[in-house]
Amino acid sequence: MGRKKTRGQNANGSPSGRLRIVAGKWRSRLLPIADEPGLRPTSERIRETLFNWLTPDIHGMRCLDLFAGSGALGFEALSRGAASVIFVEKSPGAAKTLRVSIGTLDAGDATVVQTDAQAFLKSDIPQKFDLVFLDPPFADDLLEDLCRLLAGSGCLAAGARIYLEQERNQTVPTLPKGWTFIREKTAGNVRYSMVST
């Protein structure tokens, strides 16, 4: 999700308040973005690179979108063939908008859990995930703690992938034992990477 707000047109050229899906079965569909302070959907450019990294593995993946915000990452994953996505979002307004988007797309393989991401990772999670998106608000600098919680949660399938997004000038998080960075790029002030577990 991250946190940054724009008006008029966003950095992707999409109309303000709208998220455009880049590719897949819902290509070019526009979805609403909740009017929440600091909401910053992952850019189209970054999503395109990320899902190029994941092709063809994305097909059939069970995904967890923590700090889901607009749902940019989770909806893109579903559009490109992921089996399911759980969106975890604390904000009531953003969670409501995610549910509206799920209804618009008739995405029966998507679920919204309205709770804090850290609380979710500390709860009894009834399934395992092949892909987890970690894009917390940049100012909170939570990635290292979240990776540690995720590693201890028992919710990762064998060989799971973790996507990390942070500000370019932030310290790269120390990964849990056995995790490895396999891809990393920057775009503007954003550093994003893929981790194998």
- Full pLDDT tens readout for the chain, 197 residues: 554 333 333 444 444 588 999 999 999 999 999 988 878 889 999 999 999 999 989 999 999 999 999 999 999 999 999 999 999 999 999 999 999 999 999 999 999 999 999 999 999 998 999 999 999 988 888 999 999 999 999 999 999 999 999 999 999 999 999 999 999 999 999 999 999 99
Long-range contacts of 140-143 (CB under 8 A, 24+ apart): 141/166, 141/170, 142/118, 143/170, 143/173
Amino acid at 79: S
Place of tokens 């609403």: 32
Architecture of domain 18-196: 3-Layer(aba) Sandwich (3.40)
Say how far apart CA 55 and CA 10 lie, in whole Å.
Answer: 27
This prediction has a pTM of 0.90
